[in-house]
């Protein structure tokens, strides 16, 4: 009896936790800078792979960017545009040095990040991220509005007949391409955690049903 009472309390609690995780995470994406290699000095100091990666990705408000590096040996500075261009590490907007930095974008526009070591920045350990508007806002903004009805034709003068103009040839309208598909260069979307969360819930429910 005690076991049944425990299961009746734990299983609904797990379900509620899964729902909270889904509501919080669905629709946001995490982008890992440098992939498995992480945040480090590029092998070619004359080439910036981070900017090429950022240009081929699609960042939007609500997404996060992840920097992985060795704490104590490197860091991440969020800086102004001019400090980014000059690799000025003296007056950052924010400084991160914990080794695993996750930064969530709360506003659109350009965001500039450089290494906390100026010599690393001079070797192109820096990245510019352009953040677009929020996905939900863009979806609402693109809602189609009904086309205005054509104005009624003015009556023809007495004694004259009106002729309707020949109908214009119709042309097929191409279906609009979606602009919300994230780049394939992005890390796995957090929304994919839906499957993992559901699987965890089912496994937990099965365990307590034994």
Digit-coded pLDDT (tens) for 161-188: 445 445 544 444 444 433 333 344 445 4
- What is the tens place of the pLDDT at every residue in 115-155? 999 999 999 999 999 999 875 555 454 444 444 444 444 44
What is 1-19 written as a DSSP string? Answer: -HHHHHHHHHHHHHHHHHH
What is the rounded average pLDDT of the residues 57-73? 96
Helix crossing, 2-25 with 193-209: angle to 10°? 180
Give per-residue pLDDT as tens, 5-38.
544 554 444 444 443 444 344 568 999 999 989 9
Place of tokens 């526009």: 109
CATH 2.60.40.420, applies to 28-137+186-210 = yes
Tell me: pLDDT of 44 over 60: yes
The model's pTM: 0.58
Q: Give 69-111 pLDDT, tens digit per residue.
A: 999 999 999 999 999 999 999 999 999 999 999 999 999 999 9
pLDDT at residue 133, as a whole number: 87
Give residue for tokens 């839906």: 194
Domain boundaries, the chain: 28-137+186-210
Whether pLDDT at 46 is above 60: yes
Q: Work out the average pLDDT over 48-56.
A: 96
Pairing of strands 76-79, 109-115: antiparallel
Q: Residue 40 has which token pair?
A: 């480090």
User: Burial of 111 by CB count in 10 Å (0-12 exposed, 13-18 middle, 19+ buried)?
Assistant: buried
Measure the CA angle with vertex 73, ends 49 and 67; round to 5°.
45
Non-local CB neighbours of 69 within 8 Å, separated by 6+ positions: 38, 39, 40, 75, 76, 99, 101
The reported pLDDT for the residue numbered 37 is 92
Give the pair of three-digit tokens for residue 173.
Answer: 């309208």
Q: What is the predicted pLDDT for the residue at 209?
A: 53
């Amino acid at each position: 009896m005690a076991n049944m009472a425990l299961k009746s309390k734990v299983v609904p609690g797990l379900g509620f936790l899964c729902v909270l995780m889904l509501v919080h995470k669905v629709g946001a994406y995490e982008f890992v800078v440098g992939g498995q290699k992480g945040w480090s000095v590029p092998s070619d100091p004359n080439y910036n792979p981070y900017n090429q990666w950022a240009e081929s990705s699609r960042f939007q408000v609500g997404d996060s960017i992840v920097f992985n590096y060795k704490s104590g040996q490197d860091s991440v500075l969020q800086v102004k545009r001019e400090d980014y261009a000059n690799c000025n590490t003296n007056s950052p907007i924010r400084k991160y040095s914990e080794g695993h930095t996750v930064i969530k974008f709360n506003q659109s526009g350009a965001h500039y990040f450089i290494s906390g070591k100026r010599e690393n920045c001079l070797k192109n350990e820096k990245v510019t991220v352009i953040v677009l508007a929020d996905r939900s806002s863009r979806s609402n903004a693109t809602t189609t509005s009904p086309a205005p009805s054509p104005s009624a034709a003015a009556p023809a003068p007495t004694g004259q007949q009106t002729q309707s103009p020949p109908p214009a040839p119709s042309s097929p309208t191409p279906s609009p391409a979606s602009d919300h598909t994230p780049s394939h260069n992005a890390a796995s979307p957090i929304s994919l955690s839906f499957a993992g969360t559901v699987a965890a819930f089912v496994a937990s429910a099965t365990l307590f049903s034994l």
